[in-house]
Amino acid sequence: MPEQTIGVNPKDIVRQKKTAEGSLTVTYNKRDLLANTIGHLLAIPTTHTMLWTWNSAFHNPTKELAGDLFDRYKDVPWKGDVLVRVGHSDIFNDIKRMMARNEDVRGRPWGIKDNIGRTLEYAGKAGIVLLQVPTLITNKIFRRDYYNPFSNTVNVYHPRLAAGMHELGHAEFFNQMENKKRAAYYIAMVNPIVKLPFFRSFMEYQASSIAMQRFKNDTERRKGLRMLEAAWATYLGIDTLTAAALVAPALALPLLKSALSISIALPSIGYKAVITTGIAQYGAAFAGHAMNRLYPKKDQRFGYIFEGKNPMKTPVALGSHQVLEATARPVQTKNSSVKLSHPDLQSNRQFGSGGDRTGKRPLHSNTNRITF
């Protein structure tokens, strides 16, 4: 077991659980200058527009959210060292974790133990770092929530629970695999030559499916689905168009290539940039939102069958008289042939409003006490 958690400021740790096989560490830090300035603006046309969470555009995740994520995933039998950063990302420490020894950050695809193999392994780690750094910078600028399997870290910027639950679902999905299978998945992810059809959609589906199991109740699940189904639809839509382009390129390619350009100019510092984003994913996200609200079988989502048809409701408080009426025990009469005339006796209620047949109210007896 590693003595310390690599790439973590001890002051930022909110909750942590360590075992002989793995660990889960959740940190919180809202001091992320780049993400909290330009990141908030750039996340509006991308993340929040697709997920329809505009009211969360300028909100940061809270420390309570970090605790909620830990509570829902603390019981996973982690076989690696998973680090969750809530409210911030750390490019330098991610690089440090990607280059760390296998004994210090467990749960990654590396497993070579001889000296020659480890030399080649470090070369592979360095290559992964070169490929990952541009993505890490982009994710910070656009405040994207993501799981980095090469550093075994989860980064959460969105203030709603579903986003972090989904990303931790990715971490648990890889945690379930043996090392060789995990390495095969990683190669499929970073391979720039051959893109497997619907591979990304499959990965996103698995993460959301795991998140559905980890939510505490149906209320959380239904709120989360408003984001999860729309997000998954973007991957499914792009994968469908990509596969269709192999068969009917004249129809699919124009949809894939259609894009919207956004110009950002800051004349005071001489900065100008053009950001281009595809339109197809917005259409797919809209279809996901429509499916979430119109699809009739709302008790089944991502392979999970809901506990009840309706969200959990707060029970209505009963009055004292209602409690007595609901919990009273029936009276057992010795002679069932005796005809009872008093309304309370006919109802066989132990507690009545009047006395006995003589009109007198009986004395209190321990045998007449109500039991709960």
Per residue of the chain (372 residues), give pLDDT as tens: 667 889 999 999 999 999 999 999 999 999 999 999 999 999 999 999 999 999 999 999 999 999 999 999 999 999 999 999 999 999 999 999 999 998 899 998 887 766 777 788 888 899 999 989 999 999 999 999 999 999 999 999 999 999 999 999 999 999 988 878 888 888 887 776 667 889 999 999 999 999 999 999 999 999 999 999 999 999 999 999 888 888 888 877 787 777 666 666 656 656 666 666 678 888 999 999 998 888 877 677 888 777 654 444 444 555 566 656 656 655 555 554 545 445 444 444 434 444 455 555 555 444 443 333
Residue 3 lies in a domain: no
Within this chain, do residues 262 and 363 fall inside the same structural domain, yes or no? no
> How many domains is the chain partitioned into structurally?
2
Q: Pairing between strand 81-86 and 146-148?
A: unpaired
Residue 2 lies in a domain: no
Residue 71 contacts residue 164 (beta carbons within 8 Å):
no
Within this chain, do residues 172 and 289 fall inside the same structural domain, yes or no? yes
Within this chain, do residues 359 and 270 fall inside the same structural domain, yes or no? no
Instruction: Supply 80's token pair.
Output: 């690696």
Residue 256 lies in a domain: yes
Residue 120 lies in a domain: yes
Within this chain, do residues 220 and 332 fall inside the same structural domain, yes or no? no
User: What whole-number distance in Å separates Cα of residue 245 and Cα of residue 255?
Assistant: 10
What ranges in 146-217 are assigned the alpha helix state H?
161-175, 179-190, 199-214
Within this chain, do residues 278 and 347 fall inside the same structural domain, yes or no? no
Residue 224 contacts residue 51 (beta carbons within 8 Å):
no
Final residue of a structural domain among 270, 305, 340: 305
Within this chain, do residues 251 and 331 fall inside the same structural domain, yes or no? no
Within this chain, do residues 49 and 188 fall inside the same structural domain, yes or no? yes
| Number of residues assigned to the chain | 372
**Domain limits for position 343:** 317-372
User: What whole-number distance in Å separates Cα of residue 14 and Cα of residue 2?
Assistant: 19
Final residue of a structural domain among 262, 281, 305: 305
Residue 89 contacts residue 36 (beta carbons within 8 Å):
no
